Structures are given as C-alpha cells and as structure tokens.
Amino acid sequence: MSAQTFHATGAADEATQGYVVDVSGGDWDEQIGELGMHPEERIVVNMGPQHPSTHGVLRLILELDGETVTETRAGIGYLHTGIEKNMEFRTWTQGVTFCTRMDYLTPMFQEAAYCLAIERLLGIEEQIPERASAIRVLMMELTRISSHLIAMGTGGMEMGATTVMTIGFRERERILSIIENITGLRMNNAYIRPGGVAQDLPHGAIDKIRENVPLIRQGIHELEKLLLEAPILKGRTKGVGYLSLTGCMALGITGPVLRSAGLPHDLRKLSPYCGYEKYDFDVITRTGADSYDRLCIRLDEIHQSLRIIEQVTDELQANPGPVMVEDKKIAWPSQLAVGGDGMGNSLEHIRTIMGTSMEALIHHFKLVTEGFRVPPGQAYVAVESPKGELGCHLVSDGGTRPYRAHFRDPSFNNLQATAAMCEGGNLADVIVAVASLDPVMGGVDR
C-alpha cells in the first residue's frame, strides 16, 4: 500500500508543493508517528483498481486520519466494454449474447429484462407460453442463489474466513451444474430469447434439480451455523456500512441494501413478471441497515428461492408445452441441443430445414442473419436481480436492431453509497461495507 499526504486545502496537482511521504513497508506506528509531526496533513490512499477486496477493478480513493476514513470516492470505468453501444449493431436476438455478459454473476436477469422489453415493444407479452415463463423463473432463481453465494463467499474470504468461501463455492457448483445441464454453459448463457427460451428442459433436468435442492439447503444451514452467531463476524459486521432508509431513498438504492433498512421493496411482489404472482414466497426485510443484516437477508432469500424452485419444478412437470412464441416471424429457431461442445442447432432440426423446402431454408436464413423487425417505440422493463432493480430501456426505430439499449444496473446505483457507508469508519471496515453492497464491475461499467 502506498500513501501520499497533501495539505488539507491543496489540490492533487499541487502535491509536490506539500509534504509527501511514501509508505512502502516497515512499522505502521512509526509512519503514523512521523506523520503526526505534521497535523495539518492528510493521507490519501488508493485502494484498487487492482485489489483483491474491491470486487473487480473498482478504485476507491480514501482520505485517512490515522485509521479513520474521512473521505471516500469511487472511481469506475476500468472495465468498460461498450456492450450497450455494440447492441445497436446487432439484431435483437443477438443482443442477448451481449447483455448476458454485463453482470457476469447474474446473466439470466439481464437476458430476462432485455427480452421482456423486446416483447413489450412487439406487443406479444400475453403470447409467451406459460412453460417458457416458468423456465425463466426457474433459471433466475437458480442464478439468484448462485449470486448470493458468491457475495457471501468472497465477503467472507476478504474478512479472512476462507471456510465461508469454500462452502459457498461448493454449493454454487451444484447450481452451475444444473444451469450447464439446461443451457450448455455455466455462464454467459444466452438462454432466454425474445419470445421464450432457447430450448426446453433436457431429459432428467427436473430430477437433477430435486436431488440438489436438499443438498443446497443443507449447505446453507452450514453457512448459517458458521456465520450468524460467530462473535468475530458480528464484531466485524454489526454497525458497519450503516445506511438508513432515508439514505437509501435519496441515493436510489435497491435490493438487499434497501430491504436491510426495513422497506419490503421487491419487484417480484410489487410488479410481478414471468408469472411470479403464482408462487408463494416472502420478501425478507430487517431493520439494522448494516452489513450483518444484509448477510442475513441474502441467506434468507436463498431459502425463499429454493421454495420458488420447488414450486416451479412441480409446475413444469405437470404442464408440458411449447417454450417459444408461435409466431414464426419472431420465433428464432429454438430446436437446439446440448452437445459435447455446448449448445447449438440440433442435427435433426437442420435436416428438417434442409429437407422441407427451399422456402423454409430461406426463411430460416433470413430470420437468423437479418432478424425480425420491431415496431417503433420505447419500453422500460425492470426485474428484481440479486443486487436490486435491474432495468432495461429499449428504443426501436422500426428496424431489425435496437436504436438504443440502456440498462439500469443496480451495482452502478448502489456504489453511490460507498461514501455514506465508509466515511467515519475504520479503514478495515471499508472492505466489509463494499462487500455488503455486492457490486460487480461488469455491470457497473458496461
């Protein structure tokens, strides 16, 4: 760690005119003692953008008074990929392969928000098959559990509790195994498509899910026993990263951070989509508004997701049906299959297209390469991601690709709270506060 001290009233570019100290090792007390001879000076520390505790390439500029943080600023943009701009040069369906890569821990939520917005522009929301909506719910809830496990596992590791990470990653592997079995990929799935999903559940998928749900539940109980009453963890998290309901409302904070302040704001209940109104689950809230309560909320939300998954699997087993809208001018060919190299067009489907008629082959070629047209207009659709409200705003000019695509990523909005959470606390508490936000820089920078 390196530190520089400037005059309290001086600007950064005037640093050479002030008293500068480079801390490159040695005893911290000696360094503080030397700095104490100049009480008018301040220490500015860069934490990141290459730092194991900043959840990616997040840069935190911290001003310190000894071990106390007096000012916090977040520097972003180190992972900018131009995804939203690239989507303007791809067909509506190809856009799924871009947005799934934004927050790489919650790919299904970006895909769902994007496809729901397209379907609203097309006016086909009521035509989506119930089975397709149920599969979307299943995949989103599996992804929610996976994301929460990463949040708790990495947060525990940053506090020195490696067992939390190993248990969390062990249970996440069960989730990823199910997702890979269904989509052919562990992440960046591009499974949810405009009009439905890419393919139906493969044979044995529901049995695999039912086998793993009790094992995942058992693993979560292990985490609860390891964490919730541990005095060291409570000492590190209770009262740390505090953000009141007023602060959350002022900054536009959503997700577990907002619910830890007592407000039961969950879009699955307030503005249901994909048939969430059919499922029985609770919105988890607490009132401590600190890092400990956010940890508890994520653990409880995993139990609620498992409840939803059990209900969805029963529904899917009882109600077979199509998984793509009937309109063949919109329905991107969904007869895919998972092979040794991932998911792709099934050989049987290719033989059918090639052998039916020249017109069928031409239609398939045009639909895949040119895409379908979307009427002019704009739409905004939001879903409840593991981190908060994830919104997709699409604008169409009547063509085969978006005129504009923009996402409201909750990590971007939630990072605004770093100053309010960290200032006045200890340097070590910055890591805990940021971990409780669970930001992913792929979603922040896009």
Q: CATH number, domain at 185?
A: 1.10.645.10
Query: Which stretch of 19-23, 68-72, 186-190, 290-294 has the lowest confidence by average pLDDT?
Result: 19-23
- Domain end, chosen from 75, 96, 128, is at 75
Query: Which stretch of 227-231, 268-272, 389-393, 431-435 has the lowest confidence by average pLDDT?
Result: 227-231
| Domain annotation covers residue 416 | yes
Q: Is residue 215 domain-shared with residue 177, that is, in the same domain?
A: yes
Helix or strand run (H / E) with residue 68: strand 68-75
Q: Are 119 and 112 in contact (CB under 8 A)?
A: no
404-408 sheet: strands from edge to edge? 377-385, 388-396, 404-408
Q: Given a cut of 90, is residue 183 above it in pLDDT?
A: no
Query: Which stretch of 53-62, 83-92, 164-173 has the lowest confidence by average pLDDT?
Result: 53-62
- For the chain, what is the domain count? 2
| Domain annotation covers residue 212 | yes
Burial 186-217 (b: 16+ CB within 10 A, else e): ebebbbbbbbbbbbbbeeebbebbeebbeebe
Confidence (pLDDT) at 12: 43
Backbone angles phi, psi at 432, to 5 degrees: -65, -45
Q: Is residue 231 domain-shared with residue 253, that is, in the same domain?
A: yes
| Domain annotation covers residue 341 | no
Q: Which of the given ranges, 4-18, 134-148, 182-196, has the highest pLDDT on average?
A: 134-148
Q: Is residue 151 domain-shared with residue 261, that is, in the same domain?
A: yes
Confidence (pLDDT) at 343: 65
Q: Which residue is associated with the tokens 């970006």?
A: 110
Token code pair at residue 162: 């490696």
| Domain annotation covers residue 405 | yes
User: Pairing between strand 196-197 and 336-339?
Assistant: unpaired
Q: Which residue is associated with the tokens 């909005």?
A: 413
Q: Given a cut of 60, is residue 430 above it in pLDDT?
A: yes
Task: Give which of 153, 191, 189, 141 is closest to 309, Cα–Cα.
Answer: 141
Q: Is residue 61 domain-shared with residue 142, that is, in the same domain?
A: no
Q: For 12-71, how does the pLDDT look when each residue is reduced to its tens digit (9 = 90+)?
A: 444 445 555 565 555 656 655 655 555 556 788 888 777 777 777 888 888 888 888 888
| Domain annotation covers residue 15 | yes
Q: Is residue 141 domain-shared with residue 23, that is, in the same domain?
A: no
Residue 24: domain span: 3-75
By three-state DSSP, how is residue 426 classified? strand
| Domain annotation covers residue 233 | yes
Residue 100 CA, chain-centre distance (Å), reads 10
Task: Give which of 173, 175, 177, 151 is closest to 432, Cα–Cα.
Answer: 151
| Domain annotation covers residue 355 | no
Q: Left, alpha or beta for 103 (phi > 0: left; psi -120 to 50: alpha)?
A: beta
- Domain end, chosen from 75, 96, 130, is at 75
List the beta bridge partners of residue 72: 62
Q: Is residue 59 domain-shared with residue 198, that is, in the same domain?
A: no
Residue 331 CA, chain-centre distance (Å), reads 27
Q: Are 288 and 238 in contact (CB under 8 A)?
A: yes
Q: What is the mean pLDDT of residues 105-134?
A: 92
Say which residue, 39 or 384, is predicted with more confidence: 384
Q: Is residue 244 domain-shared with residue 299, that is, in the same domain?
A: yes
Instruction: Tell me how far apart the alpha carbons of residues 164 and 160 are, in angstroms, rounded to a whole number.
Output: 9
List the beta bridge partners of residue 44: 4, 63
By three-state DSSP, how is residue 252 classified? coil
Token code pair at residue 295: 């940890």
| Domain annotation covers residue 388 | yes
Residue 165 CA, chain-centre distance (Å), reads 18
Mean pLDDT rounded to a whole number for the chain: 84
Residue 172 CA, chain-centre distance (Å), reads 14
Q: For 313-332, how does the pLDDT look when each residue is reduced to its tens digit (9 = 90+)?
A: 999 988 888 888 888 888 87
Confidence (pLDDT) at 30: 63
Q: Which residue is associated with the tokens 């990470």?
A: 165
User: Pairing between strand 196-197 and 192-193?
Assistant: antiparallel
Confidence (pLDDT) at 304: 93
Token code pair at residue 436: 């409780």
pTM, to two decimals: 0.86
Q: What is the mean pLDDT of residues 411-423?
A: 89
Q: Given a cut of 80, is residue 345 above it in pLDDT?
A: no
